[in-house]
């Protein structure tokens, strides 16, 4: 087992250059290689040269959770908060809503995912919306089965394959061109481990990885089924915890599945093993 040491960044009320909050909702690296963190309290920009943070708040004198971040262009970020969606100018460091459609500003959203000119927006119970950047318009994605459940993640694997992760209704595969829809459920023939799907990712081979409440799932396109990796107390190289909250592929092509703030594991696609890495913070 490898021991890895990390520098820990925590909020300190007596230090204005500390990160805005200790609960991190989302991380985003923009086209300028800047790291943005959305916390329970606000938006934080990491100043690597000085090793500290600069913090910004959508509403003056009020700290609200930042749920997700997407880059619109080199100077603007779309910021999803618990009080609506804002536009953030990375040069002037200002929030605004006047350039956005009123319907977008007032939308209660759970996740953002940009694909080309479109930003897919997941909501708690209204399904999925599409924001056109060039047209500055918002429209509903006409898939009625997505309504009534929380959308947790969205990923477009190809021009004809959009995946939507839900809280309790399984995983949806949608053709954006024809709107043809397939639903993958726990008790279905596709062998998905849970109907509570939290995270979606693809690897260097564009293979789909799915994190659920109970396991890690890898999609076999040829068989249209999932291979499941979960915890096995008899195997030291199995997952240490079954609930997968995030998936990230490192520079070596290995996937890291984060379960808790201090625990991670790496999976090499060729080895199908999970050597544990304990992180001391």
CB burial class (10 A; 0-12, 13-18, 19+) of residue 21? Answer: buried
Query: Residue 183: CB partners within 8 Å, gap ≥ 6?
Result: 145, 169, 170, 171, 172, 173
Instruction: For residue 273, give both structure tokens.
Output: 């093993």
Euclidean distance between CA atoms 218 and 172, whole angstroms: 15
The predicted structure's pLDDT at residue 244: 80
Rounded to two decimals, the pTM is: 0.85
- Rounded CA Rg of the chain: 19
Q: At 225, phi and psi to the nearest 5?
A: -140, 170
Biggest alpha carbon–alpha carbon distance for the chain: 58
List average pLDDT for each run of 10 residues in the chain, which is 281 residues long.
71 95 93 95 94 94 93 97 96 96 96 96 97 97 95 96 97 97 91 94 91 91 90 60 73 51 41 41 32
């Amino acid at each position: 087992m490898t021991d890895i040491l990390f520098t820990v960044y925590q909020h300190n009320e007596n230090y204005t250059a500390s990160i805005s909050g200790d609960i991190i909702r989302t991380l985003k690296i923009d086209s300028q290689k800047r790291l943005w963190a959305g916390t329970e309290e606000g938006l934080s920009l990491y100043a690597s040269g000085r090793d500290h943070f600069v913090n910004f708040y959508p509403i003056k004198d009020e700290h609200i959770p930042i749920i997700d971040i997407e880059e619109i262009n080199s100077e603007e970020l779309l910021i999803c908060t618990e009080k609506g969606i804002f536009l953030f100018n990375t040069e002037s460091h200002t929030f605004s809503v006047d350039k956005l459609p009123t319907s977008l500003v007032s939308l209660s959203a759970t996740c953002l995912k940009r694909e080309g000119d479109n930003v897919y927006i997941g909501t708690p119970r209204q399904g999925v919306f599409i924001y056109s950047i060039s047209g500055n318009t918002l429209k509903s994605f006409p898939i009625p089965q997505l309504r009534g459940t929380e959308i947790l993640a969205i990923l477009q694997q190809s021009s004809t394959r959009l995946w939507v992760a839900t809280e309790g209704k399984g995983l949806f595969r949608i053709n954006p061109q024809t709107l043809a829809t397939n639903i993958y459920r726990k008790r279905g023939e596709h062998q998905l481990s849970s109907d509570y799907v939290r995270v979606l990712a693809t690897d260097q081979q564009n293979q789909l990885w799915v994190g659920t409440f109970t396991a890690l799932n890898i999609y076999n396109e040829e068989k249209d089924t999932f291979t499941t990796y979960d915890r096995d107390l008899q195997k030291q190289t199995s997952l240490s915890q079954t609930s997968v909250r995030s998936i990230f592929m490192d520079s070596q092509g290995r996937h890291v599945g984060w379960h808790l703030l201090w625990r991670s594991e790496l999976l090499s696609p060729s080895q199908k093993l999970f050597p544990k890495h304990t992180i001391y913070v």
